[in-house]
Chain A
Amino acid sequence: MGAAALGKDLIGLETLSPQQLRLILDTAERFKEVSERPIKKVPALRGKTIVNLFFEASTRTRISFEFAEKRLSADTVNVASSGSSVSKGETLVDTARNLEAMRIDMVVIRHQASGSAEFLGRRIRSNVVNAGDGKHEHPTQGLLDLLTLRDRFGKIEGLKVAICGDVLHSRVARSNIWGLKKLGAEVAVCGPASLLPRDIAALGVEVIPRIDEAIRWADALNVLRLQLERMTGGFIPSLREYNRVFGVTRERLDRAGKDIVIMHPGPMNRGVEIDSDVADGPHSVILPQVTNGVAVRMAVLYLLAGGNPDWQQHGGGE
């Protein structure tokens, strides 16, 4: 399996090969069962210390990583930016180097700056897992979306997936596009022009302007959260207007009259990008996504822990 091994860090899906993606998904498939055991724990990462370094608010991802780490028997420490020396102005690298001086093995980082995970990975010896860096990537979310689709459809190849909504601010969209394309899916985006990146076609992605059309075309919709906290205004007229034009509603799904899978990375703005009766309805795989998140993160941590043992500073990564 040497050729498919993951290397030192997981920064994004852009740099992974289809073989590496499949290795992670196949490994995650095995880890699903661990969470169903009477004792939900295996000793694989016993003695490893993992720091969850979260510079941005997160509930789901942080808890999911923590469960994954604990179910692999790693020791974990959580550092949030508020209440730590980060709020005293310490730089990212200084924080991480101080943690490394306490002999840690891995860092899971969420940071508002795109590129921060890769930046850190080049400067410390520990494995770095990107848990979301600005608008760049959120690779474990992309992987759990791939796993959920593979569960539902048996394979990714040939699937039509429409990513809907606030693509511009979305690292989830970027990780999805890379992962889906590499595994042979067709990808389209759908949303208001103000929320689509101008260079989106360069990623080999189609633009579908109307949500009804996207529903007709797609086997699965990945409905993104409207990232109100990242918007400085002027992107959309109003939330009600957004829901009327781009909201995924029961009515719209009924009108299309077809089987379709609905995903959402959470947290949802119910009644904005997705209606409650869709989120809680038979098409939704939103909770299976959350379950798969733990398995995917266990797989990533397990595979990285066996990464290149003689990695030297500045030499690592894929």
Chain B
Amino acid sequence: MPSRATLLDERAIARALTRMASEIVERCHGTADLLLVGIQRRGVELAQRLARLIEGLDGSPVPCGKLDITLYRDDLQAIGPRPVIGETDLPPDLDGRTVVIVDDVLYTGRTIRAALDELADFGRPRRILLCVLVDRGGRELPIQPDIVGLKKPVAQDERVDVLVKELDGRDAVELARTA
């Protein structure tokens, strides 16, 4: 039976997202040409929440896209049965936009590498930033986040689970020991 510890509860997540929303506005000098792109699955929910928070701060609605990186994974040939593919939904023109990639947990960096490759096939954003709720360390590629909710180095045999109300019924970030 793996043990679990709470890293962020519902209120801590709400505070982190509020801070991240204002950091996005600050780093992007407003919301003009801003596009939030959530990585399937939980990045999508987080991006939508950030968009609402930014709209509350800045007054103007922020468009939100979805990106599934399955078909761009670098280990697709090595793994067995194919993973189920999620929806990708991006506006037709990325050229000149400021894209903020939103994901729940940043670990090896391989998901973000795939996301960058996939975005490049959709167009040429002016700038791409990376925003993650939890940076757990353990990078295998030279990729770093621009905006972070919680920075917490986590051992290899531990797993960070981000739970969101929309999919999991509650908001929490938990540390699970798998060993």
Task: Give the interface segment out of B2-10, B76-84, B139-147, B165-173.
Answer: B76-84
Q: How far is the CA of A44 from the CA of B83 in the complex (A)?
A: 11
Q: Given known contacts A306-B79, A306-B80, what 17 new A-B pairs fall within 8 Å (CB)?
A: A2-B80, A27-B82, A27-B84, A30-B87, A30-B88, A31-B85, A34-B71, A38-B121, A38-B123, A39-B121, A42-B72, A43-B117, A44-B71, A46-B77, A47-B77, A303-B82, A305-B82
The interface residues of chain B, by DSSP majority, are classed as loop
| Cross-chain contact of B71 among A26, A42, A47, A303 (Cβ < 8 A) | A42
List, in ascending order, chain B residues with CB within 8 A of A41's CB. 121
Q: Which residues of B contact A (CB under 8 A)?
A: 68, 70-72, 76-77, 79-89, 92, 117-118, 121-123
Whether, in the assembled complex, A5 has its beta carbon less than 8 Å from a beta carbon of chain B, the answer is yes
List, in ascending order, chain A residues with CB within 8 A of B76's CB. 44, 306
| Cross-chain contact of B82 among A33, A39, A43, A306 (Cβ < 8 A) | A306
Whether, in the assembled complex, A37 has its beta carbon less than 8 Å from a beta carbon of chain B, the answer is yes
Q: How far is the CA of A307 from the CA of B82 in the complex (A)?
A: 8
Tier of interface size on chain A: 20 to 34
Q: Does A2 contact B81, Cβ atoms closer than 8 Å?
A: yes
User: Can you pick out 18 interface pairs between chain A and chain B where the beta carbons lie within 8 Å of each other?
Assistant: A2-B80, A2-B81, A5-B81, A30-B68, A30-B85, A30-B88, A31-B85, A38-B92, A38-B121, A38-B123, A41-B121, A44-B70, A44-B72, A44-B76, A47-B77, A302-B82, A303-B82, A305-B82
Known: A43-B71, A44-B76, A47-B77. A26 touches B88 (CB 8 A): no
Q: How far is the CA of A145 from the CA of B83 in the complex (A)?
A: 24
List, in ascending order, chain B residues with CB within 8 A of A27's CB. 82, 84-85
Q: How far is the CA of A121 from the CA of B123 in the complex (A)?
A: 41
Which 4 A-B pairs rank lowest in CB-CB distance, beginning with the nearest?
Answer: A306-B82, A42-B71, A5-B81, A30-B85
Interface centre among B72, B80, B82, B84 (most CB of A within 10 A): B82
Whether, in the assembled complex, A1 has its beta carbon less than 8 Å from a beta carbon of chain B, the answer is yes
Cβ-closest chain A residue relative to B93? A38
- Return B41 CB to nearest CB of chain A, in Å: 13
Cβ-closest chain A residue relative to B86? A30
Whether, in the assembled complex, A154 has its beta carbon less than 8 Å from a beta carbon of chain B, the answer is no
- Return A69 CB to nearest CB of chain B, in Å: 14
Q: Does A1 contact B71, Cβ atoms closer than 8 Å?
A: no
A-B contact count (CB 8 A): 59
List, in ascending order, chain B residues with CB within 8 A of A305's CB. 82
Cβ-closest chain B residue relative to A39? B121
Q: How far is the CA of A309 from the CA of B80 in the complex (A)?
A: 7
Q: Does A37 contact B84, Cβ atoms closer than 8 Å?
A: no
Q: How far is the CA of A37 from the CA of B89 in the complex (A)?
A: 10
Against B, the Cβ 8 Å flags (1 = close, 0 = not) of A1-35 are 11001000000000000000001001100110110
Known: A43-B71, A305-B82, A306-B80. A33 touches B88 (CB 8 A): yes
List, in ascending order, chain A residues with CB within 8 A of B92's CB. 38
Cβ-closest chain A residue relative to B89? A33
- Return B9 CB to nearest CB of chain A, in Å: 32
Cβ-closest chain A residue relative to B68? A30
List, in ascending order, chain B residues with CB within 8 A of A39's CB. 121-122
| Cross-chain contact of A306 among B72, B81, B88, B121 (Cβ < 8 A) | B81
Q: How far is the CA of A309 from the CA of B81 in the complex (A)?
A: 9
List, in ascending order, chain B residues with CB within 8 A of A2's CB. 80-81
Q: How far is the CA of A302 from the CA of B83 in the complex (A)?
A: 10
Q: Does A26 contact B82, Cβ atoms closer than 8 Å?
A: no
- Return A106 CB to nearest CB of chain B, in Å: 13
List, in ascending order, chain A residues with CB within 8 A of B89's CB. 33
Known: A30-B88, A44-B71, A44-B76. A1 touches B122 (CB 8 A): no
List, in ascending order, chain B residues with CB within 8 A of A5's CB. 80-82
- Return A221 CB to nearest CB of chain B, in Å: 31
- Return B74 CB to nearest CB of chain A, in Å: 9
Against B, the Cβ 8 Å flags (1 = close, 0 = not) of A287-315 are 00000000000000011011111000000
| Cross-chain contact of A1 among B68, B77, B83, B88 (Cβ < 8 A) | B83
List, in ascending order, chain A residues with CB within 8 A of B80's CB. 2, 5, 306, 308-309
Q: How far is the CA of A20 from the CA of B84 in the complex (A)?
A: 12
Q: Does A26 contact B84, Cβ atoms closer than 8 Å?
A: yes
